[in-house]
Each structure stands twice: as structure tokens, then as C-alpha cells.
């Protein structure tokens, strides 16, 4: 029997029973008790189905990840069959419809049968909040974000509950916005709803995970504030702490790895992409992200080691053209520090830089190569001076048209240095990198960069199955 026939069968039984009650004048007390027990049994069957899905990797090794989707579908079929057998005399038609729709909604795929049954459930009992939440999730899978938003908002109008708050937070970030300002308001409201969900139950891992995603979205829409980045990472960590199933969520690993990559925690990013791919082999994005990052590191370290494959004679000629005048405002005491004070910077070789912020220092070198990623952020180039090794420089928050050319002279005030030692799947990478948060900090060929060179970065993350 097909899933739709089973679901329809459950619904038909409920309708027939309702008609029978109309003829007989209702049920006796013992029949009412039997009806309650029937609904309770249906609830237990659906709860067991969702527990099978959510705790799959507690009973199956990760090597079975490729079978999870099929195993869940088979468990759904078994559950629907048991539910069909368990439907008895019940005055709770809306509950039976809701539970049947919820069972059909256990997979990540959109189910038109679930939509029909849940729609009937909310019409029969408009205050059945769980039916509204399930119907909202069906619309979300269908791609009808506006309808999903209506469902979750409607559920909250009946009573405050964490599931509606979680889902509303998720949907708000995907609502269509006419302007960037409107989208920013949606993101801020998304954070607020997620916080409310956490406050309702601090032990709910899904609430913490969705709060992490809300902070992640806020981070990329509000100037990449490091404090917000740490809030996102803390929320993800808390999700794993309070809910052991969170560690089996491939979306959490991918979204957190995206943040790690932006923060240049490359080893953690690679591990996160790899873990997400292992947990959901049918989802190509984690493996693609992992491979793209490995290719970026391969190309970068190769170019650094070969100094951009620039021949020695040409390199010597380029370095001979470095002049103090190319420091611009960094060389004449006009540099404005983060404190707001004008300070004099000391020109030092790249080789003398220490990990972290090198206050009171400026470096000057020649560009040997440039490198862009699929996401266009960051813009990466190699910088060398007369003292020796080539350093990577990563620049964020620039417009796509901005860049530097081979042979350009670049001065970097108070450079922030990181020495990378990365190991992943038998590969090893070692290099030094200067991170620059905005091109406005750079002086190129003696000229400060104008405000037109800066733009807020954007990044994609997977919201569909939060």
C-alpha cells in the first residue's frame, strides 16, 4: 500500500467514525477512554519514528550515513501501517490528522499528502499549535517561505512555544526583502526569536543551533564583528553540549566550518566540512567546500614557496624599486591608529613580524601574485620584501573590482600576523599570513585606498533543514 493510501485510509476512518457518532448520539465513557488511548498510541508511534531519525547515529555507525534517508522512509512506512491499525473510536479527528501528517513530514522532502492532512487538521482545530508548526515546516520544504512565516506566527498567536520561535527565527532570514535595510531587520528579529526560544528551554539543542545560525547571519550582515562570531561559535558549542544529537547534524558542522574558514581557522574548517560530508554523503556541498579549500591551500602554498614563479632577476629589479615614499601616510606620522591618535610607524622587514598585532609597525613589499576563491572573499596576494620569504596577505570586505597587481608596492600598517600549521587527511600546509579586515587599511603605490574599495562580504550557508 502506498504512503498516500495509508494516510488517506487513516483520514477516512476518522471521518467515518465521526459520522457514526452523529447517528448514535455520541460515545459512551468507556469509548471515550478508548479513543484517548488510541490517540496516545498514535502519539507514541510518531514519537518513536522521530526518535529513530534524530538518534540514528547512536544506533548506526557513520558508515551507514548514505542509508539513513532510506531507513527513515522505511521506518515511516512501518509507522503509518501501525497507525492505520491503531486508529479506533476517536473524537480527536484533528489530532489523528495532525499525527498522520507529522509522520509523513519526517523526511526532508516536501510531502503534498502531509500538507493536505495538516491543512485539514488546522481547519478542524485552529488552536492545535503542533499542526500549525508541522504545516509551516511543510511549506518551508515546499519553498513557500511566506506561508511558512504565516503558520509559525499564527501558532505563536495562540500560545508562546519554543518550536514556533525556532522556526520563525529560521524563516525570517529567508523572507523576501525589498531593501538591504529590511533584510537587516529580518536578521535582527531572527536573533531575537532564537534568543526567546533558548530562554524557554536552555536544554534544547535545536534552539541553540538555530541561535548559532542567527548569529552567523548577523555576523555577515553587520560588519563582521568578532564578538558576534564568538557568540555564534558559543551557541554551536552549547547545542552539542546539551544535545548529543547535535553532533550528528551535518548542517551544524557545515555552518560552523564556514565561520571557521572566514576566521582562517583552516584546519577546523576542513574537519567541519569533512564531518558534514560523512554525515550526509548525498549532500554534495560539504565535500565541494572541503575540496575548494584544499585546492586554495595547495595553490597558495605553492605560489608562496616559488615566490609567484617570478624569476630571480625580475624579483631583484622589483625589490630595487621599493621606496620610503611608497609608505604614504604610514611613513610621515599621519597614520591614524585604532585609538584615534596619529602615530609614527616604524618600517620593519616582514621576517621580524610576531604572531598577533604588530603595533607601531609598518611593512612594505612587492606583490608577486594574486589569488581569488570561488566566493571571491578574501582577495589573497603574495607580498615579499628584500629580507626573504613571501608572506600571504588576505583582504576582506572589498568590492569585487578591487585588487592589486603584480609589481604593486603595498604598505600594511600594524599588520596582524598568523603562522599557519595545517594538517588534514595526510596533507600538511605551513605558511605565514597577514590578515587585513578592509582595503582601507592598505597603501598601494603610496596611495591610501578610498571608501569605494570597501564592501560588506556575503556568504552562503545552508538554512533549509535547521
Average pLDDT of the chain is: 88
Give buried/exposed letters for 193-231 (b at 16+ CB in 10 A, else e). bbbbbbeeeeebbbbbbbbbbbbbbbbbbeebeeebbeb
Who wins on pLDDT, 203 or 38? 203
pLDDT at 334: 73
113 and 234 in a single domain? The answer is yes
Across the range 262-274, mean pLDDT stands at 97
Residue 456 lies in a domain: no
255 and 322 in a single domain? The answer is no
Q: What is the pLDDT of residues 98-121, one digit of tens each?
A: 999 999 999 999 999 999 999 999
Residue 465 lies in a domain: no
Residue 115 lies in a domain: yes
DSSP 333: T
> Which of these, 154, 158, 160, lies nearest to 201 by C-alpha position?
160
Residue 219 lies in a domain: yes
pLDDT level of residue 447 (50, 70, 90 thresholds): very high
248 and 335 in a single domain? The answer is no
DSSP H helices in 143-179:
145-158, 162-172
Across the range 11-38, mean pLDDT stands at 52
pLDDT at 160: 96
**In contact, 83 and 48? CB cutoff 8 Å:** no
C-alpha–C-alpha distance, residues 289 and 35, integer Å: 52
Residue 53 lies in a domain: yes
Across the range 348-376, mean pLDDT stands at 92
Domain harbouring 225, CATH code: 1.25.40.10
Who wins on pLDDT, 266 or 336? 266
> Which of these, 276, 222, 226, 227, lies nearest to 254 by C-alpha position?
276
Last residue of a domain, one of 297, 320, 342: 297
SS (H, E, C) 366-412: EEEEEECCCCCCCEEEEEECCCCCCEEEEECCECCCCCCCCCCEEEE
Residue 92 lies in a domain: yes
Which domain does 247 fall in, by range? 3-297
248 and 330 in a single domain? The answer is no
Check whether 159 has a pLDDT greater than 60. Answer: yes
**How, if at all, do strands 391-395 and 361-371 pair?**
unpaired
Last residue of a domain, one of 254, 276, 297: 297
281 and 320 in a single domain? The answer is no
DSSP 463: -
Who wins on pLDDT, 339 or 143? 143
pLDDT at 202: 97
Among 138-152, 182-196, 211-225, the range scoring the smallest mean pLDDT is 211-225
Other residues' Cβ atoms within 10 Å of the Cβ of residue 399: 14
pLDDT at 2: 41
Write out the three cell numbers for 382.
603574495
C-alpha–C-alpha distance, residues 344 and 336, integer Å: 9
Q: What pTM was estimated for this model as a whole? A: 0.85
Check whether 180 has a pLDDT greater than 80. Answer: yes
Q: What is the pLDDT of residues 417-439, one digit of tens each?
A: 999 999 999 999 999 999 999 99
pLDDT at 16: 37
24 and 158 in a single domain? The answer is yes
224 and 324 in a single domain? The answer is no
Distance from the first to the final alpha carbon of the chain: 31
7 and 151 in a single domain? The answer is yes
Among 195-199, 234-238, 458-462, the range scoring the smallest mean pLDDT is 458-462
**In contact, 197 and 166? CB cutoff 8 Å:** yes
Residue 287 lies in a domain: yes
C-alpha–C-alpha distance, residues 318 and 35, integer Å: 86
**How, if at all, do strands 409-413 and 346-347 pair?**
unpaired
Who wins on pLDDT, 451 or 140? 140
Q: What is the pLDDT of residues 373-430, one digit of tens each?
A: 777 779 999 999 988 889 999 998 888 889 999 999 999 999 999 999 999 999 999 9
pLDDT at 309: 94
* Percent of the chain residues topping a pLDDT of 90: 75
Number of domains present in the structure of the chain? 2
Q: What is the pLDDT of residues 26-39, one digit of tens each?
A: 455 566 666 678 88
110 and 186 in a single domain? The answer is yes
Domain harbouring 384, CATH code: 2.40.50.550
190 and 328 in a single domain? The answer is no
67 and 173 in a single domain? The answer is yes
pLDDT at 459: 46
Residue at grid coordinates 612587492: 366
CA angle, 316 as apex, 311 and 318 as ends, to 5°?
Answer: 95
**In contact, 376 and 456? CB cutoff 8 Å:** no
Residue 304 lies in a domain: no
pLDDT at 5: 42
pLDDT at 35: 67
C-alpha–C-alpha distance, residues 72 and 61, integer Å: 15
pLDDT at 89: 47
DSSP 26: S
Sign of CA dihedral 73, 77, 78, 79: positive
Across the range 55-74, mean pLDDT stands at 95
pLDDT level of residue 461 (50, 70, 90 thresholds): very low
C-alpha–C-alpha distance, residues 34 and 454, integer Å: 68
C-alpha–C-alpha distance, residues 51 and 64, integer Å: 17
119 and 28 in a single domain? The answer is yes
Amino acid at each position: 500500500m502506498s504512503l498516500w493510501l495509508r494516510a488517506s485510509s487513516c483520514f477516512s476512518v476518522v471521518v467515518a467514525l465521526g459520522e457514526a457518532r452523529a447517528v448514535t448520539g455520541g460515545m459512551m465513557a468507556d469509548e471515550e477512554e478508548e479513543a484517548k488511548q488510541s490517540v496516545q498510541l498514535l502519539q507514541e508511534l510518531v514519537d518513536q519514528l522521530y526518535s529513530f531519525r534524530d538518534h540514528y547515529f547512536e544506533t548506526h555507525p557513520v558508515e551507514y550515513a548514505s542509508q539513513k534517508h532510506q531507513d527513515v522512509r522505511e521506518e515511516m512506512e512501518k509507522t503509518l501501517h501501525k497507525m492505520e491499525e491503531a486508529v479506533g473510536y476517536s473524537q480527536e479527528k484533528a489530532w489523528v490528522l495532525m499525527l498522520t501528517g507529522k509522520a509523513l513530514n519526517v523526511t526532508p522532502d516536501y510531502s503534498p499528502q502531509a500538507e493536505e492532512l495538516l491543512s485539514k487538521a488546522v481547519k478542524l482545530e485552529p488552536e492545535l499549535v503542533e499542526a500549525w508548526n508541522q504545516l509551516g515546516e511543510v511549506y518551508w520544504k515546499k519553498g513557500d517561505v511566506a506561508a511558512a512565516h504565516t503558520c509559525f506566527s499564527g501558532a505563536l498567536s495562540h500560545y508562546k512555544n519554543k518550536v514556533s520561535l525556532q522556526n520563525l527565527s529560521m524563516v525570517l532570514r529567508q523572507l523576501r526583502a525589498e531593501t538591504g535595510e529590511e533584510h537587516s531587520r529580518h536578521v535582527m528579529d531572527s536573533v531575537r526569536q532564537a534568543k526567546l526560544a533558548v530562554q524557554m528551554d536552555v536544554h534544547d539543542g535545536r534552539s541553540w543551533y538555530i541561535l548559532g545560525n542567527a548569529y552567523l547571519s548577523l555576523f555577515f550582515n553587520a560588519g563582521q564583528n568578532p564578538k558576534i562570531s564568538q557568540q555564534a561559535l558559543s551557541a554551536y558549542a552549547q547545542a552539542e553540549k546539551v544535545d548529543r544529537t547535535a553532533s550528528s547534524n551535518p548542517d551544524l558542522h557545515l555552518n560552523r566550518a564556514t565561520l571557521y574558514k572566514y576566521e582562517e581557522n583552516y584546519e577546523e574548517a576542513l574537519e567541519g566540512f569533512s564531518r558534514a560530508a560523512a554525515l550526509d554523503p548525498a549532500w554534495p556541498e560539504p565535500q565541494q567546500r572541503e575540496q575548494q579549500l584544499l585546492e586554495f591551500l595547495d595553490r597558495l602554498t605553492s605560489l608562496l614557496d616559488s615566490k609567484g614563479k617570478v624569476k630571480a632577476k625580475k624579483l631583484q629589479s622589483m625589490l630595487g624599486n621599493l621606496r620610503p615614499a611608497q609608505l604614504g601616510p604610514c611613513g610621515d606620522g599621519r597614520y591614524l591608529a585604532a585609538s584615534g591618535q596619529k602615530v609614527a610607524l616604524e618600517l620593519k622587514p616582514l621576517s621580524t613580524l610576531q604572531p598577533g598585532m604588530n603595533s607601531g609597525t609598518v611593512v612594505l613589499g612587492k606583490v608577486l601574485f594574486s589569488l581569488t576563491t570561488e566566493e571571491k572573499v578574501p582577495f589573497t596576494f603574495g607580498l615579499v620584501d628584500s629580507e626573504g620569504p613571501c608572506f600571504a596577505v588576505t583582504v576582506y570586505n572589498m568590492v569585487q573590482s578591487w585588487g592589486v597587481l603584480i609589481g604593486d608596492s603595498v604598505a600594511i600598517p600594524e599588520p596582524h600576523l598568523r603562522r599557519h600549521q595545517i594538517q588534514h587527511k595526510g596533507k600538511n600546509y605551513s605558511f605565514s599570513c597577514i590578515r587585513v579586515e578592509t582595503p582601507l587599511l592598505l597603501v598601494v603605490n603610496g596611495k591610501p585606498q578610498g571608501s569605494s574599495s570597501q564592501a560588506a562580504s556575503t556568504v552562503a550557508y545552508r538554512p533549509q533543514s535547521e
